[in-house]
Structure 1
């Protein structure tokens, strides 16, 4: 079997001569186990053309690898991975004694039973991946992100790469968020009122640790982001789920003992409901009457391709009681783990101190790379590209859902990247999701989003940010057929 020429590429800033780089590239492929004994290498002419180098450069690299027993030559047939090629030594772990720790006694807290929606590591191999919150490689501007990362590694940015910020953040990133990102949400904030976090989850953790104690009451939406509910359930505070309606969280349902309100007014998670301006004012009035704090998770506001997003709840806050949480995970890529929170200076001061006790600060190189990507206009260009494509996929979703008779429980009026769906009450979507995987269909069951033991099992979420438009209709048909057989 031959090794595809497409598996070979030269690094943009590779070290050493071209011949040395090619030798290293092939040797690493053999040592890592990617290239197997007996596999044929591409011809020197083909590899040279693919890499954009001279044929003699490839031939000299092959000859050197031949001399070192990495390769073997077979007449006029070409070069193959040698049977005598060096292999990495096998690791044999040291035998340990039997553990004697009683972990039932030693573990003071348990976290493994928390709700979670598993995302298959190989979801890209699914034919119909209706997965939420994952990056689409066809839409991400990888070239410019790489250039920004290389720039952030330069001598000029040596301090931002290597210094210990202690409890501070990259001033360029803070400046961009203050001058460009927040004004789009109607928010005005000074640098002292902004903190960079490791995504929205880290921001929610910081807020809950600072605002809640054992005698406090936290209100959450039901359904809501399952990780938030799990996080709060591990504190000693009381957690009160409040059912949402078509306009989000109803302020009149807040109990009198409420201390902190967690809400997603612009794009309710997971129902995608948008809270009207009138209700937002009512929520702030109710919070003022209760002397309660409000934590606003403003995720996915950039994906408002059907209309301008409503102003953030924070923009209407005159008391300083709203803590605003934003993230770049949905608009860039979730693996970035970069978000931010905005609040009054006394709160951010405490959040900064708490963060420094746990992780000090997000990596400086990541912050500076993001700052360049944002400030050079690449971020806005990517948002425009994503919005255009998501609009196309949303249209395909609407048509397919109507054609095959599925029921929509919530579709974002401004846009977004998912739809909240419902099946007949007798259908267990967790079980159905597992059976659909056999047909290479991935959907997300909705039960983990709900609180309490008697969770409805018939809801599910369909994300469309990572599925090609031409696969949406066939995938929706498979889902509809599966539901009809229940």
Structure 2
């Protein structure tokens, strides 16, 4: 029998090439049992005419399917479904709408934290004025050199290392670059055994919390603060103390008497963007040495300092060895990379490596090697310089627009970072503001989710400029000011 032409339809909404769509249609037909072994496929000429595409496109797709043993070519007879093609299971699968009758709520002991009452839309990129934090601007990224580095990582010389089980080890090339370039830039002296590669800063924070905290220990976090901290600490069931930050970040004199671990973002506090002064950093370290608590330093956006050099890290000033340093490439490269690292005493790194191995051996080596190539060839430094220049222009445009429109800072603007912490007039709920602005093409982040559930002021919001073009900033700020005036 022959496969009928009418069974072929290429979905125009699929985000792939014509060749991929043809291959997918054939593979799905074979796996579903609609195309059976030995059946003849439509000729390349007939299928091309039916789909109104080039014949060579069909021929290339068929050739790839032959290579994967879905089809076989039989001389001048054409293409046929292979007798040894992968097949669907020989048992009946349950229907998709069937539901489990097992009571999972009885057995599950984890209760995820409640979601914030408002989230950014999934299609935020389609909005003309996205003041969204933590997202990259694709126009600033060096796609070509990243692709070349990926090809290099997949080359014959490195491929064996990428395909072997490396157990708990990290890519030594990436570790070497972090040791010689990233940590030294931040004034940190570290040996390879003091560095662990993680799946972003979130993973590093989780590992640290799991190792340092128990139900009987006390953790201090900043308020407002990175929401992920609360979720991570909730997993440890430790006692959490929220300390209110001011325009200089976490105030050491407000810390409680009993502390085991302090989590802080001194470079650019999340979400206020405040930078902790040097004297406050020294005082925090003095208290850590005196009281014997650990400081977990999330070195947030240290690369994005414009008018001045970034302040020394707590880790670089740490004489007692009580600081765990956490860094990430998410903001400087792109968030989807999910690659970070932690620097700590060898004893902690060894335990963190062992804990990491219980859930994953290591971050994928091909991602590590790709990043290592990109970093070591100088593309990373060029990327940082390009981002600094672009972000500085956007920041200047936003500062001017904020002044012209009379919006109010909640924390005075500082040099660097990629956002502003803003305050609407009393009585304006920024969650209502955010929903109203979406109809005008503006996306901003309400501030309530950065506070404990049910607490915190309702009139705070964050404006970021990492993913919005400079030319669009003035009009976007105008729309925000107009809507605030309507709600006030």
Partner of 2:234 in structure 1? Answer: 233
Question: Is contact 2:118–2:431 with CA below 8 Å preserved after alignment?
Answer: no
Partners of 1:323 and 1:72 in 2: CA distance: 59
How big is each residue's C-alpha offset from its partner over 1:320-348, in whole Å with a ceiling of 9 and x where there is no partner? 10000000000000000000000011011
Are positions 1:395 and 2:396 aligned together?
yes
CA apart distance, 1:69: 5.2
Question: Is contact 1:267–1:412 with CA below 8 Å preserved after alignment?
Answer: no
Question: Is contact 1:115–1:230 with CA below 8 Å preserved after alignment?
Answer: no
Partner of 1:147 in structure 2? Answer: 148
Partner of 1:320 in structure 2? Answer: 321
**SS of equivalent residue, structure 2 residue 410:** strand
How big is each residue's C-alpha offset from its partner over 1:65-97, in whole Å with a ceiling of 9 and x where there is no partner? 4323563669xxx99x99xxx9xx999963376
How big is each residue's C-alpha offset from its partner over 1:401-441, in whole Å with a ceiling of 9 and x where there is no partner? 00111111235523111111110121110121112111111
Partner of 2:47 in structure 1? Answer: 68
Partner of 1:196 in structure 2? Answer: 197
Question: Is contact 1:267–1:301 with CA below 8 Å preserved after alignment?
Answer: yes
Alpha-carbon RMSD across the aligned residues, in angstroms, is 3.0
Residues 116 and 415 of structure 1, relative CA distance in 2, 3 Å threshold: farther
Question: Is contact 1:271–1:410 with CA below 8 Å preserved after alignment?
Answer: yes
Partner of 1:50 in structure 2? Answer: none
Residues 158 and 396 of structure 1, relative CA distance in 2, 3 Å threshold: same
CA apart distance, 1:236: 1.6
Partners of 1:450 and 1:207 in 2: CA distance: 22
Partner of 1:59 in structure 2? Answer: none
Partner of 1:56 in structure 2? Answer: none
| Counterpart mapping for 1:163-312 below 5 A | 163-312=164-313
Residue from 19, 38, 46 that aligns with 1:24: 19
**SS of equivalent residue, structure 2 residue 411:** strand
Question: Is contact 2:247–2:412 with CA below 8 Å preserved after alignment?
Answer: no
How big is each residue's C-alpha offset from its partner over 1:193-239, in whole Å with a ceiling of 9 and x where there is no partner? 00000000000000000000110000001011011112212322100
Are positions 1:340 and 2:341 aligned together?
yes
Moved over 6 A (4+): 29-33, 89-93
Residues 421 and 306 of structure 1, relative CA distance in 2, 3 Å threshold: same
Partners of 2:170 and 2:474 in 1: CA distance: 45
**SS of equivalent residue, structure 1 residue 421:** strand
| Counterpart mapping for 1:417-456 below 5 A | 417-451=418-452, 453-456=454-457
Residues 213 and 29 of structure 1, relative CA distance in 2, 3 Å threshold: closer
**Between 336-345 and 92-101, the greater mean CA deviation after superposition:** 92-101
**Between 318-327 and 118-127, the greater mean CA deviation after superposition:** 118-127
**SS of equivalent residue, structure 1 residue 294:** strand
Partner of 1:156 in structure 2? Answer: 157
**SS of equivalent residue, structure 1 residue 110:** coil
CA apart distance, 1:29: 8.8
How big is each residue's C-alpha offset from its partner over 1:14-41, in whole Å with a ceiling of 9 and x where there is no partner? xxxxxxxxx73573598799xxxxxxxx
CA apart distance, 1:317: 0.2
Structure 1 unaligned residues grouped into runs of 5+: 10-22, 34-62
Alignment length, in residue pairs? 433
**SS of equivalent residue, structure 1 residue 301:** coil
Question: Is contact 2:448–2:455 with CA below 8 Å preserved after alignment?
Answer: no
**SS of equivalent residue, structure 2 residue 141:** coil
**SS of equivalent residue, structure 2 residue 324:** strand
**SS of equivalent residue, structure 1 residue 433:** helix
Residues 29 and 102 of structure 1, relative CA distance in 2, 3 Å threshold: closer
Partners of 1:445 and 1:372 in 2: CA distance: 38
Partners of 1:471 and 1:73 in 2: CA distance: 41
| Counterpart mapping for 1:38-49 below 5 A | none
Residues 160 and 344 of structure 1, relative CA distance in 2, 3 Å threshold: same
Question: Is contact 2:219–2:239 with CA below 8 Å preserved after alignment?
Answer: yes
Partner of 1:107 in structure 2? Answer: 108
Question: Is contact 2:315–2:324 with CA below 8 Å preserved after alignment?
Answer: yes
TM-score by length of 1: 0.83
Are positions 1:94 and 2:94 aligned together?
yes
Partners of 1:442 and 1:354 in 2: CA distance: 39
Are positions 1:381 and 2:382 aligned together?
yes
Partner of 1:19 in structure 2? Answer: none
CA apart distance, 1:107: 1.6
Partners of 1:451 and 1:156 in 2: CA distance: 51
Partner of 1:42 in structure 2? Answer: none
CA apart distance, 1:455: 1.7
**SS of equivalent residue, structure 1 residue 205:** helix
Residues 408 and 73 of structure 1, relative CA distance in 2, 3 Å threshold: closer
CA apart distance, 1:98: 4.9
Partner of 1:38 in structure 2? Answer: none
Structure 2 unaligned residues grouped into runs of 5+: 1-10, 29-41, 63-86
Residues 430 and 182 of structure 1, relative CA distance in 2, 3 Å threshold: same
Partners of 2:341 and 2:52 in 1: CA distance: 57
TM-score by length of 2: 0.83
